[in-house]
Structure 1
């Protein structure tokens, strides 16, 4: 019987720790931020398979595509699942990276896909090269699955590198699709420029994202898939209808409100992330004798590594005693001693307190 592999990342959905450094997003929006009197008249009927036209138009506008090239999904993971089911079921070949978000990896495992892995490492700054991807491509490749900025590192893949990968795919596996998970794309720091979406790189490039991470609206469970391939969009709409019929019209209406306020929402969060990034950077610098990091390009997360000698069992015990929760690198397929640190969730003062507690745990392990 097909199963989904278990992963301890599920623990992040349990009770929040005193010093929460495991989360990968910023502060949550509140329902009161989005409610309007008009929403009281919303009919609780089925939505459409492709999604609310107003929501599809808002998403399309921000990606330079047409609304009919957008399919709204129940979170970004639903979009990844549908695309994988269509392209890689029954042993289809998938090229992807490690480390990577474990839920995405679990989808490929549950489908029995033939997964070919491109390793990206801490020592190389988690930088992906087109040559490394090209080396894993074969004529049987159906899907190349990449994330930018990456989870857990927050390191982005330059658009030029993605273009080189598209060229390589055209030569080796022209029928394959390149899926880019752009979940953290608009979570830039302060006045940093927002990276351009990859969906414009060609008809075989598909963008997946959601409102969960950058906008603080994970509870809406609204994501999307964007493709300029009309046949694929039709297949995705049919697959969505066949699994969940539609997303919640209530969530879709609230998502429209998020996009109506997006400039304000993201403006506040980019300042928040910029401040917390500097706090984290200073903390790493002050504790450089025992920890190191890879500075992220965007998003509310980064990767830290404990310097040897370190007793990981003592470190874990100290974290539990001090109420500190990190995301273990092992969840993502990373090396021992590496952890994802979420710096965007807590207010600055609470982040400093959490990092002080983390410092105590680190020193207890050395």
Structure 2
């Protein structure tokens, strides 16, 4: 019997704390925000995805609609890519820290995983030389995220180009998977970075409605590839697992993506500014990696103020205040680092929650 790996992030689906700073998305949309008067047929949809929805996704990513395959959430896309490209024993490269379910998709299909460590002090940026050292002729997939989860740090295109150059030399049949779930979760007037799928035919982009767009309850994601053979396998894989997505979900997804995101981007900007101010106020005890996009960032407790015991007590003290953050160990990082989700709560509640985090810092700091 195959076994899916366990991970601590499953606590997110348990009882909610008063202030949830562990979540990685912004406020949820409600049905009345997108519901329209049109009648929606409840038959089977197209396995590749509704043509109108694929056209909208394609336009936002600078590709043709035929390059898009709609999936049942981003995890479905991650799993299909791993299942198609990695036979048991094939090598796949990913990073640590990383969103645990992205790694789980590789583990579940039996890939041998080579892990490249990313460093807080280098803003969690992958070094192309480290990726190259991990490549071999058996490498079939390099799985990265930009912006990353848990840090919100984006990978510059020149870094991705250097990685692709190394892959062409060492493992020319391998693909680079770019999880771009947070790409459009920008702050205020900031423009969204172009999709990395434009950097070459071996780049596959995956994203969903969940993090940027406030609609995780609509189980809609997508994979984008310019490789017609891989696209056909993605369609066959989807047909063999779920046949098609819900017609209702796809119709509502079209409305979500046509919906103006300006108020959401303004909310993220205000919450980011509040978080930055809190970091400055507590700079003697914490530091952070300022995110490039997304509703998340990584915060680190200073080692000269928090030993291992104090770190553990800090998390316990947060829980006593009804506050939850995402322990760095969930993602393969050290416990001294935690992911702070600043985008979910209303600004007033975020500031109250950060005050509670300050109180926990006051109590548990060694100095």
Mark yes or no: TM-score above 0.5. yes
In structure 1, what is the Cα distance between the partners aligned to 2:229 and 2:215?
30
* Correspondence for 1:260: 258
In the alignment, structure 1 residue 53 sits paired with structure 2 residue 51 = yes
* Correspondence for 2:313: 314
In the alignment, structure 1 residue 302 sits paired with structure 2 residue 297 = yes
In structure 2, what is the Cα distance between the partners aligned to 1:186 and 1:91?
35
Contact preservation (8 Å) 1:84, 1:107: yes
The farther-off stretch of 238-247 and 109-118 is 109-118
Alignment of 1:130-149 (within 5 A): 130-149=128-147
Please point out which of 276, 282, 285 is paired with 1:281: 276
In structure 2, what is the Cα distance between the partners aligned to 1:109 and 1:166?
23
Provide the aligned C-alpha RMSD in A.
1.0
* Correspondence for 1:345: 344
Secondary structure of the structure 2 residue equivalent to 1:118: strand
1:247 deviation in Å?
0.9
User: TM-score, normalised on structure 1?
Assistant: 0.97
In structure 1, what is the Cα distance between the partners aligned to 2:312 and 2:155?
34
Alignment of 1:170-189 (within 5 A): 170-189=168-187
Contact preservation (8 Å) 1:306, 1:362: no
In the alignment, structure 1 residue 95 sits paired with structure 2 residue 93 = yes
**Unaligned ranges ≥5, structure 1:** none
1:147 deviation in Å?
0.2
Please point out which of 99, 103, 107 is paired with 1:109: 107
* Correspondence for 1:62: 60
User: TM-score, normalised on structure 2?
Assistant: 0.96
In structure 2, what is the Cα distance between the partners aligned to 1:204 and 1:342?
32
Contact preservation (8 Å) 2:213, 2:257: no
Contact preservation (8 Å) 1:314, 1:364: no
In structure 2, what is the Cα distance between the partners aligned to 1:132 and 1:330?
22
Contact preservation (8 Å) 1:142, 1:177: yes
In structure 1, what is the Cα distance between the partners aligned to 2:190 and 2:33?
26
In the alignment, structure 1 residue 237 sits paired with structure 2 residue 230 = no
* Correspondence for 1:32: 32
In structure 2, what is the Cα distance between the partners aligned to 1:74 and 1:364?
44
Superposed CA deviations along residues 210-266 of structure 1, whole A, max 9, x for unmatched, are 0100110110010000000001000000000101111111100000111222xx1x2
The farther-off stretch of 73-82 and 44-53 is 44-53
Contact preservation (8 Å) 1:91, 1:111: no
In the alignment, structure 1 residue 18 sits paired with structure 2 residue 13 = no
In structure 2, what is the Cα distance between the partners aligned to 1:290 and 1:231?
52
1:363 deviation in Å?
2.0
Contact preservation (8 Å) 1:47, 1:248: yes
Please point out which of 213, 216, 231 is paired with 1:215: 213
1:89 deviation in Å?
3.0
In structure 2, what is the Cα distance between the partners aligned to 1:99 and 1:257?
34
Secondary structure of the structure 2 residue equivalent to 1:254: helix
1:79 deviation in Å?
0.1
The farther-off stretch of 266-275 and 223-232 is 266-275
* Correspondence for 1:154: 152
**How many residue pairs end up in the alignment?**
361
Contact preservation (8 Å) 1:140, 1:173: yes
**Unaligned ranges ≥5, structure 2:** none
Secondary structure of the structure 2 residue equivalent to 1:37: coil
* Correspondence for 1:336: 335
